[in-house]
Structure 1
Amino acid sequence: MLAAAPAAVAQAPYPAKPIRLVVPFSAGSATDILARIIGTKMSEGGTYQVIVDNRPGAGGTLGATGVAKAAPDGYTLILVSVGHAINATLYPRLAYDTVKDFAPVSLVATVPNVLVVNAGSKYKSVHDLVTAARAAPGKLNFDSAGSGSSTHLSGEMFRMQAGIDIVHIPYKGTGEALTDVMAGRGDMMFAPTVSAMPFVRQGKLRALAVTTARRSSSLPDIPTVAESGLPGYAFDSWFGILAPAGTPKEIVDTLNAEIGKALAAPDVRERLAAQGAEPKRSSPQEFASYIQAEIGKLAPVIRQSGALAGQ
């Protein structure tokens, strides 16, 4: 009887206990909001109980380190953002390997940043900004939520592809940066839609373009940067779920299917749209390839941005 016990445990149906979904940022962040939307939907049927566990710190690397070292049994997951790919270059001495120490489960959503200026600004288009920057190198600035953030790197990519000289002004967060743009102290910002659009609707900011390759279904009237004069420009703030490397394929596939069901639910799609997010399910293999492609695409932008200074 004793010899049979381990086999019985090994064959227990999955999931047999709550699943911990780590969010490597604080409560109220975009990552946290998405985690709670998806976790709540997955828990509704009773088969899954998903508990969101906020582990903020060190730009998301603290939570990722813990998950990389967790047991690969399907009971510890992490919802990462584009910052996961950024950190692979931004932090040369990570305690984990961004690719080898995780098993991708599924891409979950993409959220465009939106290029905004003060509502009273004389700049009414991307063309206006680029023309002004070329006429007066180093005179225009762009605010960001901090060095190495997606708001910084989408601006750096804009600077590089437009061939212009604009000055980066890092802040300690999105709110502070947007406040200065609204006050006219900052010329522009590539801000998360969830943060910027309420002020656009209030008439405090003007939205010029979104950073994604295609127009956002949530913001169909706002053109992309690419169609506004910079063909090929695309920067996605994306989110996805990872498990520790070594998690059995059958568990990864089961989780992928359950996440797909959650993302297909009308109420989830409605809640994601309210955040400016586009649901984007993928296969585990597609997500793995996507992460590697993002690391390769963003690495030269990070190196040329100056974000690595001092490391």
Structure 2
Amino acid sequence: MLRRFKALGAMLSLVMASTMATAAPPHYPSKPIRLVVPFSAGSATDILARIISTKMGEGGTYQIVVDNRPGAGGTLGATTVARSAPDGYTLILVSVGHAINATLYPKLGYDTVKDFAPVSLVASVPNVLVVNAASPYKSVRDLVTAAKAKPGAMNFDSAGSGSSTHLSGELFKMQAGIDIVHIPYKGTGEALTDVMAGRGDMMFAPTLSAMPFVKQGKLRALAVTTPARTSVLPDIPTVAEAGLPSYAFDSWFGVLAPAGTPKEIVDALNAEIGKVLASPDVRERMAAQGAEPRRSTPQAFASYIQVEIGKLAPVVRQSGVTAGQ
């Protein structure tokens, strides 16, 4: 009997320790939390931020205010957060561009790894190669053939240097062996507007941003960048299927806090984000846009960022891309 009580006591201690490890301080949050989006309104990052912040606010405990801080491939917003107080009231939703920028920018106002406390991955979103609906290009093969016929005459828009939309295009250029000109914008919305207006030949846009225009018949989707097709565009081939067998580029999004944010706050935010991503209505909204919920532990996200930096660095270097191009 004594052994049983000791075993029960040990189990209760473990449960209490686990609860204490994920419990936020008693008065947190006591005011609105600012979620910085380092890209413009209408971007994939912005859409995800608003889906997540709206759901977090439904419980009454969390009030999230989305703060768009676009510019310099997301580094302006990241610098703001890196220099903010580590009190849990300033967060940032970053994209894969956060890992790209570690190589793209020789001098950042922050350390990509050391100046942030990873909270959780939140989603994976394919980029989709789109052209104007009236464009003569009906396939990836059409684009490549036209680009090879007139080197340097065609262009591709992006949400800015160092964004996933940019590196997707650079990888496409390298593997297709073509010369097309990169035109950076300050956000996805502006870039897509010019493609729809016929001023841009093509763009590798996040499905979150491009899908509404594809459905409206304003854009034509030619291929997705991920290794497998996406359920939201099941009839659209991958770039690999369309003629570039080695091509694959996956975009991800995640939440970071400033370095030094107390572990109990990070854990509490991670748990809340987990609840949000498990919610059927959030999963449905994400799936409708081609996004896949993708939660992780803070520790796993930290490791993932470092792996991504190492994986993407050769693509940046081989392309010859530098910040500001």
Q: What's the TM-score, normalizing by structure 2?
A: 0.80
Residues 73 and 160, structure 2, Cα contact 8 Å, conserved in 1: no
Residue 287 of structure 1, CA deviation? 1.4
Q: How does 1:81-92 map to 2 (within 5 A)?
A: 81-92=95-106
* 1:78/1:146 CA distance change after superposition, 3 Å: closer
Give me the whole-angstrom Cα distance separating, in 2, the residues matched to 1:182 and 1:41.
32
Aligned twin of 2:311: 297
* 1:100/1:206 CA distance change after superposition, 3 Å: same
Aligned twin of 1:107: 121
Residue 40 of structure 1, CA deviation? 2.0
Residues 25 and 265, structure 2, Cα contact 8 Å, conserved in 1: no
State how many pairs are aligned: 302
**Identical amino acids, percent of aligned pairs:** 86
Q: How does 1:121-140 map to 2 (within 5 A)?
A: 121-134=135-148, 137-140=151-154
* 1:60/1:167 CA distance change after superposition, 3 Å: closer
Residue 153 of structure 1, CA deviation? 1.4
In the alignment, structure 1 residue 36 sits paired with structure 2 residue 36: no
Q: Single out whichever of 121-130 and 276-285 deviates more from structure 2.
A: 121-130
Residues 174 and 319, structure 2, Cα contact 8 Å, conserved in 1: no
Q: How does 1:1-311 map to 2 (within 5 A)?
A: 12=26, 14-134=28-148, 137-171=151-185, 173-308=187-322
Report Cα offsets for 1:248-274 as digits up to 9, x if no partner.
333322221210110111111222234
* 1:172/1:100 CA distance change after superposition, 3 Å: closer
Gap regions ≥5 residues in structure 2: 1-23
> In angstroms, what is the RMSD of aligned CA positions?
2.8
Report Cα offsets for 1:225-259 as digits up to 9, x if no partner.
12323234222332110112222333322221210
Residues 70 and 187, structure 2, Cα contact 8 Å, conserved in 1: no
Q: 1:161 is aligned with what amino acid? A: Q
Give me the whole-angstrom Cα distance separating, in 1, the residues matched to 2:76 and 2:179.
34
Residue 19 of structure 1, CA deviation? 2.9
* 1:169/1:34 CA distance change after superposition, 3 Å: closer
Aligned twin of 2:18: none
Q: Single out whichever of 136-145 and 286-295 deviates more from structure 2.
A: 136-145
Match of 1:227, SS state, is coil
* 1:124/1:258 CA distance change after superposition, 3 Å: same
Give me the whole-angstrom Cα distance separating, in 2, the residues matched to 1:15 and 1:172.
33
Give me the whole-angstrom Cα distance separating, in 2, the residues matched to 1:24 and 1:173.
10
Match of 1:261, SS state, is helix
Give me the whole-angstrom Cα distance separating, in 2, the residues matched to 1:113 and 1:102.
26
Residue 207 of structure 1, CA deviation? 0.9
* 1:27/1:131 CA distance change after superposition, 3 Å: closer
Residues 132 and 196, structure 2, Cα contact 8 Å, conserved in 1: yes
Residue 101 of structure 1, CA deviation? 0.9
Q: 2:119 is aligned with what amino acid? A: V
Give me the whole-angstrom Cα distance separating, in 2, the residues matched to 1:296 and 1:23.
24
Aligned twin of 2:14: none
Q: Single out whichever of 154-163 and 301-310 deviates more from structure 2.
A: 301-310
Give me the whole-angstrom Cα distance separating, in 2, the residues matched to 1:309 and 1:78.
21
Q: What's the TM-score, normalizing by structure 1?
A: 0.83
